[in-house]
Amino acid sequence: MRRKLMLLGIVTVLASVSAPGCGGGDGGGQPPNIIVLVVDSLRADHLASYGYDRDTSPYLDALAARGVLFERAYTQASQTRLSVASLVTGLNPPSHHVREAGAASAGDSAVVADVLSEELDTLAERLKAAGYATAGFVTNPHLEPGQGFDQGFDHYTYTDFRHCLADRLNESVLAWIGLERSEPWFAYVHYMDVHMPYRPPIEYQYYSGENAMLKPVEANGPPNTLVNMERITRTVNMYDGQINYWDDRLAELVAGLPGGESLENTILVVVSDHGDEFFEHGGFGHGYTVYDGVIHVPLVVVGAVGQEAGLRRSDPARLVDLLPTLCKLAGAPADESLLEGSDLFAAGRADGIAGLEVYAEAVFGARPRSVRKNGGFLVFNETGQDWEFYDLNLDPFEQIDIWAQRSDGLDGLRTDLARLQAGRGLIAKPEPAVLDDEAVETLKSLGY
């Protein structure tokens, strides 16, 4: 804790020296406001701006045309607790130690989950030290107070808005943003409106067609019952309807921000913690695999001064890159030597980074750990102690495992993965938290 307070003090001094003209503001006034919207379970390829053939997200697509869209953004885990920990710390799961999302405790019936260590400096803590008012609004039980994710927030609320209630969440967010204050503000908003169970409001079920009465698949992982194409289609239709519902709520939120659509002196980030699978690899939902359906996420940044409107970036981006990027835009740059992410808007970054590593892992099933690098995708399944390898240049949908043919030439990637799995060794792993009965039941209702 002493080290943490010293670091926060250093950040405060740096912010006071460098804030004018260093962030996304007007170049000489107050640093920019920052709002990060995390849309739980939203996969990138179900948005028209990412090539989808349905107009599921017209408002987000229009918003992206005003900012920067990262075509190849990846999360570091296919489960919320792990991925959000990476977003707010700039570290991969082996380094921040949040790797268990809800498992039976050894020797008893308790359900435990890893907590985010107080020794780590989160995005909210860094921005608070730089003079920001901070607030978090979360609707996922993995992020409840007491799990470590509330560090650095002046105001932090968890509300059990599990399903298609983004309008009510927006009211809380806009009420806090609308408070009179002299300092810039940072808001983290976590929506659950695209998460299973897939039941959008009736007026958003228009994709379902004649099979509207067929129950969608609503459980994570390999299904226990027969799955046919009709049921897969039904599931996708309901999922897409929920995206469309959330997109309309996004429009309402932006309209209610200070300055409205102009986003005056405000940086808005839209991202997901992970996607969902629809039987492309034998299962549904998330948390079991690290394939593109759950790892490839949307990332849109609007309002960053100096960035060309409508720019589409094809270089890899990661959730761990958001902390250093937003700290720099706020005028309080983070020491990237202590992080595993880097500033997305650094000079030359848009030209691509040869050899950039994208780490990702999952918590259930085979518990895969993976690295993507230079078109190669290597997976180690911890449960079965076996390997997979995909050449993404020839097989972008990850359908043909060529580990048997290529294993002799993958020593470099295996070394990279071993190093990433070892973590940075910055902190000791904290004791896990025991989840109460209400939290366990809430997680079950969400398909876990």
Give the highest mean pLDDT range of 216-220, 355-359, 388-392. Answer: 388-392
Give me the count of residues in the chain: 448
pLDDT tens readout for residues 64-93: 999 999 999 999 999 999 999 999 999 999
Q: Domains plus CATH for the chain?
A: 2-17+32-445 (3.40.720.10)
Mean pLDDT of 384-406: 96
- The side-by-side arrangement of strands in the sheet containing 358-361 is 358-361, 368-373, 376-381, 386-391
Confidence tier at 212 by pLDDT (50, 70, 90): low
| Interval 37-55 mean pLDDT | 97
Q: Is the pLDDT of residue 187 over 70?
A: yes
135 bridge partner residues: 155, 187
Q: What is the pTM of this model?
A: 0.90
- Are 27 and 305 contacting, i.e. CB atoms less than 8 angstroms apart? yes
pLDDT in tens, 250-296: 999 999 998 888 898 999 999 999 999 999 999 999 999 999 999 99
pLDDT at 107: 53
Would you state the pLDDT for residue 448? 64
pLDDT number for residue 185: 97
Q: Rounded distance, CA 146 to CA 160, Å?
A: 16
Is residue 13 very low, low, confident or very high in pLDDT (cuts 50, 70, 90)? Answer: very low
Rounded CA separation 289/370 (Å): 10
In the numeric block, the tokens 């460098």 are attached to: 18
pLDDT band at 352 (very low <50, low <70, confident <90, very high): confident
Residue 170 pLDDT exceeds 80: yes
Residue 253 identity: L
